[in-house]
Homo-oligomer: A and B are copies of this chain.
């Protein structure tokens, strides 16, 4: 048995009795651009890892929750208006707490994933004007344990696509089934049969709803595709399983 140690439950929780922990949030913000999955990254301006790519994020303030901090940081880094940020899908991913993940001090970080449609190039509202979209894999390495976070985010998103309607979060308000399929193919990295994909999506009540009479040319030529909006459903039953086995 591990020794509990005399100081395990301090008298009255004296806040300064221990080496303090800092609590931060890290954001894995993903989008689909030009048929590829992209990640919102910043260039670090200070040591350690100065000049390297890192996930946006920052400290949780004394009077906010981690989720509030994540949404605030997202607004700051992307420069989007608050009401847009308020509507985005933000999901707590996991907490990373290795004692040595930050060489300066003990930092515990709560990671969040956000799925956004293809947005204009971000303009940081304040200190983070350097956030930009980078294609998955187009960065060499990331600062801290951020590569691990990104890998976890990717796995989670891929898995959630199987049994939720989350994919519409990557799409603009009105989209074609081809665009929705491309989102799936981009996230999963596999090709899907188009008629079968249509059948599945349309057979799931509330996944998408048609926009009456609307259509749009997809690639400039070919038959115009009907437009759809995200429906009210959130779950997919039965799930839409990836072709081969499990996560990559």
Contact = CB atoms under 8 A, between A and B. Distances in A.
Contact of A92 (B5, B19, B95, B105): B95
Contact residues of A: prevailing secondary structure: loop
Interface in A59-97: 59-67, 72, 75-76, 79, 82, 92, 94-95, 97
Given A60-B21, A94-B92, A95-B110, A75 B1 contact: yes
Contact of A58 (B9, B67, B125, B245): B9
Contacts of A82: 1-2
A140 interface: no
Could you say which interface size class chain A belongs to? Answer: 35 or more
Interface string A3-26: 011001100110110111111000
Contacts of A246: 235, 237
Given A21-B22, A22-B15, A59 B9 contact: yes
Contacts of A61: 5, 8
A148 to B, nearest CB: 13
Given A108-B108, A238-B241, A246-B237, A63 B23 contact: no
A223 interface: no
Contacts of A33: none
A1, A60, A64, A102: most-surrounded residue (chain B CB, <10 A): A1
A126 interface: yes
Contacts of A62: 18-19, 99, 106
Contact of A127 (B2, B4, B67, B75): B4
A95 B111 CA distance: 10
A16 B18 CA distance: 10
Contact of A67 (B5, B59, B97, B239): B97
Contacts of A12: 104
A126 B8 CA distance: 12
Interface in A1-55: 1-2, 4-5, 8-9, 12-13, 15-16, 18-23
Interface of A: 1-2, 4-5, 8-9, 12-13, 15-16, 18-23, 58-67, 72, 75-76, 79, 82, 92, 94-95, 97-99, 102, 104-108, 110, 125-127, 235, 237-239, 241, 245-246
